[in-house]
Amino acid sequence: MPVIRLNPGREKSVHRRHPWLFSGALESESDANLPGQTVRVETSSGKFLGYAAWSPKSQIRLRFWSFDEQDKIDDNFIHSRLQKALSYRSSSNLASNAKRLVHAEADGLPGLIVDQYDQVLVLQILSVGMEYWREILIQQLIDLTGLECVFERSDTEVRRLEGLERKCGAILGELPPKFVIQEHGLEYYIDVENGQKTGFYLDQRANRAKIQEISNNKEVLNCFCYTGGFSLNALRGGAKFVTSIDSSRQALKMAKLNTKTNGLPEENTEWIEADVFMSLRKFRDQGRNFDLIILDPPKFAPTKQNVEKASRAYKDINLLAMKLLNAGGLLATFSCSSAISPELFKKILASSTADARQDFSILDNFSADQDHPQLLSFPECEYLKGLLLQKCS
């Protein structure tokens, strides 16, 4: 097995069991020659640290499989990790027939995402280390789940950074012509082939249910509504009226279909195809107000280099929303940028309240649902964070 040694003093993050090492930590890579192969990682003095997948083109040069010297990274190892991940989900009551089965590093399978939508598996292979095991892990997933339709959505920017081509298409079977999933008593048409992420935002499942609980008799504004997840739950929860904004015409078309499919009052909805920032400024100028505003924007900070710019965007959009709330109104605000820590997100929101010259209390915290586990040693897992704020009267 190839051996990679670290520069002196660069093993601290490994001792904390963080699963990534960046290129600057490596003393030499001369032993490694095959992208994705497993390497033995040692300190500068030759002490064992772990086994990792080597990625020669990525800044994340090593993604750790294991910190146990007795482990053997082979077919059985992959099978064991997959089996453990699936077993954990089988014991979870998610009130849905759609769930995340494998959550990458959090399940000890770095760079692998697997979502199940009823009888369909959708996978994303995001690292060269996981690509190395591609055929084996696909066959093991089929064997373990017994599902006969597998679709690949390995079409994210991360693959380019790993030196991999984007891949999207059927691996086994065919997607059903009309694809519907159930969640908390609602049905959603989803687009696995072209939709966001793998087709739906499964991580927001519990948070959508929370919105249903707090929407009764409220004027609701849902920003970045996509296919209407929060909007439908607000309507099911008894919202007086729901205004939803998204820049995607196709997403809004599906959101309207989802509203009709569930027999929800279409006359109590308004769907706006527009830029959210511009729409909020327009509402401000019109003097329009709401009782509940939901802000679930796309990833403003894809990397740490984008944090400053993203922080300004989060501050601006939350400031605009805060000014549109009635007294006692609620703001459910989210960030899905892993580069924005929960602490920084709170600071940004505090800055927004200061500029708005208004006081807000924290009623609740939001995070990804339980099928998206988090590792204490890997803060990047905590990418989705949110707060439910109330405007003080």
Residues 6 or more apart whose Cβ sits within 8 Å of residue 379? 338, 341
Q: pLDDT of 269-291, one tens digit each?
A: 999 999 999 999 999 999 999 99
Report the alpha-carbon distance of residue 245 to residue 222 in Å, rounded. Answer: 6
pLDDT digits (tens, 9 = 90+) for 56-71: 999 999 999 999 999 9
Residue 305 pLDDT grade (very low, low, confident, very high; cuts 50, 70, 90): confident
Output the pLDDT for position 260: 97
According to CATH, where is 3.40.50.150 located in the chain? 201-391
17: left (phi over 0), alpha (psi -120 to 50) or beta: left
pLDDT (mean) for 248-254: 95
Q: What is the pLDDT of residues 72-130, one digit of tens each?
A: 999 999 999 999 999 999 888 898 999 999 999 999 999 999 999 999 999 999 999 99
pLDDT at position 31, please? 81
CA distance 15 to 50: 10
pLDDT of residue 300: 84
Mean pLDDT of the residues in the chain? 96
Backbone angles phi, psi at 109, to 5 degrees: -130, 75
Q: Determine what percent of the chain is predicted with pLDDT higher than 90.
A: 90
The DSSP secondary-structure symbol of 34 reads: S
Residue the block writes with tokens 């990534």: 20
Question: Yes or no: is domain 75-172 CATH 3.30.750.80?
Answer: yes
Positions marked active-site? 336
> Cα 84 to chain center, whole Å?
21
Q: Does the pLDDT at position 393 exceed 80?
A: no
pLDDT of res. 214: 98
- Residue 143, classified by CB atoms within 10 Å of its CB into exposed (0-12), middle (13-18) or buried (19+), is exposed
- Indicate if the pLDDT at residue 304 is higher than 80: no
Q: How far apart are CA 39 and CA 138, in angstroms?
A: 22
DSSP string, 161-217: HTT---EEEEEES---SS-EEEETTEEEE--TTTSSTTSS-GGGHHHHHHHHHT-TT
Domain with CATH 3.30.750.80 in the chain: 75-172
Cβ count near 47 (within 10 Å): 10
| Residues β-bridged to residue 314 | none
CATH 2.30.130.10 segments of the chain: 3-66
pLDDT tens, position by position, 160-202: 999 999 999 999 999 998 889 999 999 999 999 999 999 999 9
Classify domain 201-391 by CATH architecture. 3-Layer(aba) Sandwich (3.40)
User: Which tokens hold the place of 188?
Assistant: 């959603």
Q: Which residue has the tokens 């079409």?
A: 155
- Confidence tier at 206 by pLDDT (50, 70, 90): very high
3-66: which CATH topology? 2.30.130
Q: Would you give the DSSP letter of residue 25?
A: G
According to DSSP, the β-strands at 325-335 and 290-295 are parallel
